[in-house]
Structure 1
Amino acid sequence: MSDQFEQPGLRKLKPSNFHMTLFFVGNVEDHIVVTLLDRAKSIRSFPISLEFNELDYWRKPKVLCLTCQKQPSSLYHLVNALNRMMSGLPITRETRPFRAHITLARKAKYRPDMTFKPVRLSAERFALVESISTTDGVEYRVLESWPLPS
């Protein structure tokens, strides 16, 4: 799909870096990471199935991303549980409503006019992931993951 949206200056993400952020933590001290790892063990949620069927352009962050017309209640259940897990921690919370998305490219200037087959994904786990800046861009490393039991 990404070969269909060429733009000057566009920075496409490597497919190995595609992910869906449920809660952005940001830079935190190691003891906060330890707390998050401990608290995440107690989260009980459900497997999630999503259909990414829209290509969006978000002007402010200048990204092209896949989004869903419909988001299942199981996704909101998990996002709300993660929000509760963060209580009492020095973490800035997002004020905008949660919207499932997968970023495809950064530094976009417009939404390309194109069609594509919906992308269906299922998640049976969630993870705490660290982003690491390298000379080749950002790499993601899973610190730990937990099941979403059915």
Structure 2
Amino acid sequence: MFKLQKRLGAPGKPVAKTNLHMTLAFLGQTSHRQRQTLEAALEGVAMPGFEQRLSTLVHWRGAGVLCLWGKATDSGLTDLYQGCQSLCHTLGLHQNEHSFNPHITLFRKVKQYQVPEWQPEPVILRPDTLNLYLSNSTPVGVRYEVLQSWPLGRA
């Protein structure tokens, strides 16, 4: 990913190498109690392994981000997404208002960008854990801290 960011130049603020990730669900603000309830509930969610191909550069102007994107075709990933969205609904947590778009954000604060005609080398993700992150705002930018992890590959 870092090489791809370098090749693309500086269309915005690059996401730090340690912050590169694919988001399954954005939860927004949660209380300590909500987090504890979520963590306990996730123990009962099927967490199949999956493979995700990311191979298309997309600029989402409204969000101001440049991403490496791929269509969700692996049933393990789509089942995990649906299970998590259902759990968020049950717990009264934030749910995605858009359809699921597997992606990794490469740059933020991208106002204008013409996606190049060339396409990057595909990135194939085969994660072995599902991580719950805390987003910490710091003077040098956002830092993501892993709060809890669950192994993938259990159905």
TM-score (ref. length: structure 1): 0.92
- How far apart are the structure 2 equivalents of 1:94 and 1:69? 16
Structure ranking higher in helix proportion: 2
Residues 64 and 111 in structure 1, CA contact (< 8 A), matched pair in contact too:
no
SS at match of 2:46: coil
In the other structure, the counterpart of 1:148 is: 152
- The residue type equivalent to 1:92 in the other structure is H
SS at match of 1:97: coil
In the other structure, the counterpart of 2:100 is: 98
Distance 1:36 1:70, change over 3 A: closer
- How far apart are the structure 2 equivalents of 1:101 and 1:84? 21
What is the CA deviation profile of residues 55-74 of structure 1, one whole-angstrom value per residue up to 9, with x for unaligned ones? 11111001000111453111
Q: Gaps (5+ residues) in structure 2?
A: none
Q: Gaps (5+ residues) in structure 1?
A: none
Choose the corresponding residue for 1:39, options 31, 41, 47. Answer: 41
SS at match of 2:91: coil
The question of 1:72 aligning with 2:74 is answered yes
Deviation of 1:45 (Å): 2.5
Deviation of 1:98 (Å): 0.7
Calculate percent identity across the aligned residue pairs. Answer: 30
Distance 1:30 1:70, change over 3 A: closer
| Residues 15-94 of structure 1 mapped to structure 2, 5 A cutoff | 15-94=17-96
Residues 56 and 111 in structure 1, CA contact (< 8 A), matched pair in contact too:
no
**RMSD of Structure 2 on Structure 1 (CA):** 1.5
Deviation of 1:135 (Å): 0.9
Residues 53 and 124 in structure 2, CA contact (< 8 A), matched pair in contact too:
yes
How many residue pairs get matched? 149
SS at match of 2:104: strand
